[in-house]
């Protein structure tokens, strides 16, 4: 009797295990309906009661769910989209989302030389206060209503003028306001992508691009980046093989390398895009930091196949939230319909603040100061990094970032972990690259590298890793 009972138990376990294996191997997906009791019993050569007991056991464990009148389903449909599970499993030191969260939390004791934005002390706080007071004072301020669908017209006109200064021709009505460049790129993903479509990015690239594209269920393929822009031959191979929907990039002051597109590369990439029906989304949030205008895909192409994206978060304020998209006129209405459906529009108050800050010259003066501070910071930071034994990949024309290579093949993720233990948050290359391109690189933000302690910790961390002691 005991033997029979054990044998029966073993059969139930066998059936349960078989189901769990299929679930783990994703042949049975969350929410999928399990075979009927009879069908499964037949296929496994066991009795229906064995299957019933196995299903009930798995139900009690929560692995499957019974639905009245409908059968059994793999549990987990209730399990929402967790970005951490969609992408590669990363520990904190190299997890872009973790690095982002760290930068956002208050943390005066943490040094953040890998940060993606300017020190708050550099931002034009007095000008913003003045703009707030002016808006509070003026009778005609719109403080309560939704903004117009495209967004505040005078701000769009200003943006059109600023784009023209960079060689990009756009009418004000080709410009759609958003909350930020990130939200702009996300809106464009919703507008342009079907699930499973492929998108090309630079390798390395701004790490949030990858997270955002994965959240849009896109397949992400990287193309090696050079000091002049993308490796054109590699880009062609990727385009032919993967037939991407679009290529997402920065032209000026590339994040993280600081490189700038050359006219030759721009021309060749646009020819590829045309030959293979690929769009280009050109994110230029750092453009206002360049000393003189660099080539723009949108400039060469005239917003035919290129969509330009920008914002003021990096250069003016991340608290106010204002960005934009410039695109071909015949797509504006469809994009705005989508924007309205998904958000009912952006903040009028934010747009009004931006408009005022640009109008009264505050923004221009502020940019001039920042460019100067960054130029000094860049020279100083580059020297200190070289003193630590790192090599700068390419000398940027301006902007925030230095892309620096560790000596002796040191792994930057290891160095970042060691530095984290000493309260310094570095930005290791693995956060910016799905391939091997960033393995021994770190991104430094020259606005956050004033404290000499950073370089002491860097050297200590390098030594620790070199000793194999991480």
Binders of a second copy among residues 246 to 285 (CB under 8 A) are: 275-277, 279
Give me 251's structure tokens.
Answer: 């032209």
80 binds a second copy (CB under 8 A): yes
CB-based burial of residue 262 (10 Å sphere; 0-12 exposed, 13-18 middle, 19+ buried)? middle
| 75/466 with CB nearer a second copy | 75
Q: Compute the least distance from the CB of residue 379 to a second copy, in Å.
A: 25
The correct pick among 67, 108, 109, 467 for binding a second copy (CB under 8 A) is 67
In this structure, the dihedral spanned by the alpha carbons of residues 441, 446, 450 and 451, taken in order and rounded to 10 degrees, is -30
> What are the φ and ψ backbone dihedral angles of 224, each rounded to 5 degrees?
-55, 140
129 binds a second copy (CB under 8 A): yes
39 binds a second copy (CB under 8 A): no
The correct pick among 21, 169, 171, 337 for binding a second copy (CB under 8 A) is 337
Contacts 24+ apart (CB under 8 A), 100-105: 100/208, 102/425, 103/425
Q: Cβ atoms within 10 A of the Cβ of 340, count?
A: 12
Contact 444, 113 (CB under 8 A): yes
> What are 67's strand-pairing partners?
71
> What are the φ and ψ backbone dihedral angles of 64, each rounded to 5 degrees?
-130, 165
The correct pick among 3, 5, 60, 81 for binding a second copy (CB under 8 A) is 81
Contacts of 313 (CB under 8 A, 6+ apart): 117, 180, 181, 285, 321, 322, 323
Q: Compute the least distance from the CB of residue 432 to a second copy, in Å.
A: 15
Find tokens 């009264």 and name the residue.
Answer: 360
Stretch that binds a second copy, among 60-68, 220-228, 374-382, 394-402 (CB under 8 A): 60-68
20 binds a second copy (CB under 8 A): no
Q: Compute the least distance from the CB of residue 193 to a second copy, in Å.
A: 8
The correct pick among 15, 34, 54, 65 for binding a second copy (CB under 8 A) is 65
The correct pick among 24, 39, 104, 233 for binding a second copy (CB under 8 A) is 104
Rule CB under 8 A: which of 191-210 touch a second copy?
191-192, 195, 208
The correct pick among 28, 177, 186, 413 for binding a second copy (CB under 8 A) is 186
60 binds a second copy (CB under 8 A): no
The correct pick among 136, 292, 409, 468 for binding a second copy (CB under 8 A) is 136
215 binds a second copy (CB under 8 A): yes
Give me 149's structure tokens.
Answer: 């669908």
């Amino acid at each position: 009797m005991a033997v029979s009972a054990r044998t029966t138990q073993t059969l139930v376990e066998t059936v349960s295990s078989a189901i769990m294996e299929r679930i783990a191997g994703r042949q049975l997906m969350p929410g999928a309906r399990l075979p009927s009791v009879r069908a499964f019993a037949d296929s496994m050569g066991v009795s229906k009661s064995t299957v019933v007991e196995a299903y009930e056991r798995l139900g009690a464990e929560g692995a499957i769910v019974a639905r009245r009148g409908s059968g059994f389903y793999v549990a987990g449909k209730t399990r929402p989209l967790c970005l951490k599970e969609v992408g590669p499993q990363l520990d904190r030191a190299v997890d872009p989302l973790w690095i982002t969260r760290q930068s956002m939390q208050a943390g005066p004791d943490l040094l953040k030389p890998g940060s993606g934005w300017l020190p708050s002390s550099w931002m034009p706080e007095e000008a913003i206060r003045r703009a707030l007071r002016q808006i509070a004072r003026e009778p005609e301020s719109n403080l309560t209503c939704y903004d117009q669908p495209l967004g505040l017209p005078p701000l769009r006109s200003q943006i059109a003028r600023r784009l023209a200064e960079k060689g990009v021709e756009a009418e004000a009505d080709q410009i759609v306001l958003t909350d930020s460049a990130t939200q702009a790129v996300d809106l464009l993903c919703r507008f342009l992508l079907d699930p499973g479509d492929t998108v090309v990015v630079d390798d390395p690239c701004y790490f949030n691009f990858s997270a955002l594209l994965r959240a849009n269920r896109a397949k992400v393929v990287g193309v090696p980046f050079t000091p002049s822009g993308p490796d054109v031959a590699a880009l062609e191979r990727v385009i032919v093989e993967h037939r991407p929907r679009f290529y997402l990039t920065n032209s000026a002051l590339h994040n993280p390398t600081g490189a700038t597109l050359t006219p030759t590369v721009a021309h060749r990439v646009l020819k590829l895009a045309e030959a293979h029906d690929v769009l280009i989304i050109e994110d230029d949030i750092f453009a206002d930091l360049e000393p003189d205008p660099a080539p723009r895909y949108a400039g060469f192409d005239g917003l035919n196949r290129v969509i330009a994206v920008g914002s003021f978060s990096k250069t003016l304020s991340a608290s106010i939230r204002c960005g934009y998209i410039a695109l071909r006129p015949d797509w504006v209405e469809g994009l705005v319909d989508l924007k309205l459906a998904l958000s009912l529009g952006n903040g009028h108050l934010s747009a009004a603040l931006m408009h005022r800050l640009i109008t009264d010259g505050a923004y221009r003066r502020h940019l001039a100061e920042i460019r100067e501070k960054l130029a000094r910071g860049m020279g100083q930071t580059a020297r200190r990094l070289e003193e630590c034994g790192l090599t700068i990949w390419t000398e940027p024309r301006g902007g925030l970032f230095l892309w620096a290579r560790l000596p002796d093949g040191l792994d930057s993720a290891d160095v970042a972990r060691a530095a984290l233990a000493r309260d310094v948050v570095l930005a290791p290359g693995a956060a910016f690259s799905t391939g091997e391109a960033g393995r021994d690189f770190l991104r430094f933000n020259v606005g956050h590298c004033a404290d000499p302690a950073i370089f002491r910790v860097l050297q200590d961390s390098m030594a620790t890793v070199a000793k194999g002691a991480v």
